[in-house]
A and B are shown apart, each in its own frame.
Chain A
Amino acid sequence: MGKVHVDGHDAGAVTLYALSTCMWCKKTRDLLSKLGVSYDYVYVDLTSGAERAELIDELRKFNPDLTFPTLVANGRVIIGFKEKEIMSALGAL
């Protein structure tokens, strides 16, 4: 699976790098759906081969430690489930 688009209201460019097994990633997705914003997400653990390598290269530019969740919202990189930071980056605070 590649990136999946979730519809919602436009809060700018929002991409979430996540793991399908991680509860903090789940909490981040729950928050995004509560805020109703449009975003793309990808479960990196469900990718393999060239797709995985490409995603890792992409994520490394934002977060060299390759930790999850990593949310890139309008150029702001938020590592970990940081509710207030996420809300502020999406104009919800």
Chain B
Amino acid sequence: MVSDEDVERLYQRLKDDAESAGYHLNSDRQFVMGVVRGLLTNEERFGYMACPCRLPSGKREEDLDIICPCDYRDQDLAEFGACYCALYVSERVARGEEGLRPVPERRGSRSSRPASETAEPHIEGLSKPVWRCRVCGYLCARDEPPEICPICKASRERFERFM
């Protein structure tokens, strides 16, 4: 069972991470606490924080794209002012200048999802490979991707070779 203390702790961490990286949590605290509880419930069930508004397969490799923050968050923030489950909102929504609206699912069927290892064109002559965070687009040139994305805190497995 997920305790209230666990929910509060994760909420604080997500809020601090969001604010330090230019993101915003939904200001409806009660709603957000419910989403956070859902994340912890999924972590308890599957070992990873799958999006609470989606049905996880239970297999990590199949659900990588919907581990929070999901691969679709930033695109949904830009287009609809909120991520799919409305944990994260745009600055305009956070300020109350724009309301929430339903966000359509852009995940697509499994067959149309990009493979986790996409064959990107490699540019000859680069001294280091370039890695791209699939969640927020952060790029870095180094031998291996970072353990955790310094911007959105996604784990290493969410990075793809970009160049």
Contacts and interface: CB of A to CB of B under 8 A. Distances in A.
Interface of A: 19-26, 44-45, 65-68, 80-82
Contact of B38 (A23, A44, A80): A23
B155 interface: no
Contact of A23 (B42, B54, B85, B102): B85
B138 interface: no
Interface of B: 31, 34-35, 37-39, 41-42, 52-56, 85-86, 102, 104-105, 109
> For the complex, would chain A's binding face be called helix, strand, loop or mixed by DSSP majority?
loop
Majority SS at the chain B contact face: loop
B55 A19 contact: yes
Given A19-B53, A23-B85, A80-B104, 11 more contacts: A19-B55, A21-B52, A22-B53, A24-B85, A24-B86, A26-B34, A45-B55, A45-B56, A65-B109, A67-B105, A82-B102
19 contacts: A19-B52, A19-B53, A19-B55, A20-B41, A21-B38, A21-B42, A22-B38, A22-B53, A23-B31, A23-B35, A23-B38, A23-B53, A25-B53, A26-B34, A45-B55, A45-B56, A67-B54, A68-B53, A68-B55
